[in-house]
Amino acid sequence: MKYEIFHIESTNMVLIRFEDHVPVEIREALIGAGFDYEWISRAWSGLECPDEKIDRIINSVVVHDRPAMTKDEENALNDEYVRREMAYGWRDVKKWEKFFRERIGAVVKLTDGTIVNIERPSIETRFCYGESGYDMDQAVDAAERARTCESYFRWCNLRGLAEVIRILERRPDESDGFIYRHCIHVTRDSRMRDGIADVSLVGAWDDRHGRPTEEVSEEDRERLLEGYRKVYASFEKRINTYLKRYGLSKVVSWTYWRDA
């Protein structure tokens, strides 16, 4: 596990910055030793302590391989998600069961027994570029790129999932501009009566205004990460299959500009 240690004399603090995703066992050991993740510096932060002690905290942890879910277990969890959704008593049972199954990207069971469906994403083929964040020439260039560049098409479709994965890994990308979204939270008052959790990105604004949320545990963060990685991999394959079949022939992109 590659990491760097930085000592900040002015604040009597120490920062630990990891090169890769940190396994849940190491994260829990750091939290137990008084460290917390600092999104501004993108590093684990704690009170000043010797490098040797930090090395012991990190290297004494046994990291276990996480067993992959079998196909039968996955199917059973999907069935459980649909059963809980259908408990609301929808009239057209076949129609709504088909609807809920088609929405499944990856179903994740959290440690408290509630389940989360990471929805199956749709391939986006329509792109609009306006004045927000662009000048007119940049908007025109972006619209042209959307119609002609397959790698840009992939990026546009995958960037939302990629952002959530980076935040779950605690490795946000500066270019996203979303570093303020520092936590993955469960919204308590959005939990359905049959144990389906609503999980969302929560920013500093929500925390300051006392929204009824709770940050997920490290174990739940790891489970959600596995689910999002699975959805990302499946969606990437679908995009590649789509491009082989249609290329960019169905892409529509345009610009608009409001009068000054």
State how far the Cα of 101 lies from the Cα of 114, in Å rounded to an integer. 18
For residue 260, what pLDDT band results from cuts at 50, 70 and 90? very low
Lowest mean pLDDT among 54-63, 188-197, 198-207: 188-197
Residues 127-170: pLDDT tens digits?
988 766 667 788 888 899 999 999 999 999 999 899 889 888 98
Q: Please write the tens of the pLDDT for every residue from 93-123.
A: 999 999 999 999 999 998 888 889 999 999 9
Instruction: State how far Cα 218 lies from the chain centre.
Output: 14
Task: Give the span between the Cα atoms of 23 and 219, in whole angstroms.
Answer: 10
pLDDT of residue 208: 47
Which pTM does this prediction carry?
Answer: 0.86
Q: Taking the domains of the chain in order of start, what are their residue ranges?
A: 3-59, 71-119
Residue 251: pLDDT band by 50, 70, 90 thresholds?
very high
CA atoms within 13 A on the CB side of 53: 10
- pLDDT at position 134 is 62
Tens digits of residue pLDDT in 47-56: 999 999 999 9
